[in-house]
Amino acid sequence: MAKDRILNPRVLSTEGEVTRRTVTVNGRQAELISVPSGSSRPVGKLRLVIDLNEVVVVAVATALGPISAGGPDYSPFINNPDLLVQVMQDLRPYPE
């Protein structure tokens, strides 16, 4: 159930569409999911989902608050989704 909610986020029809992109993290396929926000921001949340068979790793980046340059809503991952993938490249395989 939880995995389904992570992979299939619910959004209102006025918020836009969820977009998905297959990426590679540490030699494994992963899914980068962009979830729109209800504000003027096109992306409100990113989810990077890596299925390691017995374990599913989820990295989440969220933008909050009003849009303001360098403000409390600033997220380098929201502004550059590839950076989230790059950071997760150092993920150690489980189990070692």
Over the stretch 25-37, which tens digit does the pLDDT of each residue have? 888 889 998 888 7
Q: What pLDDT does 11 receive?
A: 65
Secondary structure letter of residue 40 according to DSSP: S
pLDDT tens, residue by residue, 46-65: 889 888 877 788 888 887 65
Q: What pLDDT does 22 receive?
A: 93
d(CA 93, CA 90): 9
Cβ atoms of 58 and 49 within 8 Å: the answer is yes
Distances (CA, A) of 86 to 16, 19, 35: 26, 19, 19
d(CA 5, CA 94): 23
Cβ atoms of 61 and 77 within 8 Å: the answer is yes
- By percentage, how much of the chain surpasses pLDDT 70? 62
Q: What pLDDT does 17 receive?
A: 80
Query: Is the backbone of residue 78 left (phi > 0), alpha (psi -120 to 50) or beta?
Result: alpha
Which is more confidently placed, 5 or 21? 21
pLDDT tens, residue by residue, 5-17: 666 777 666 667 8
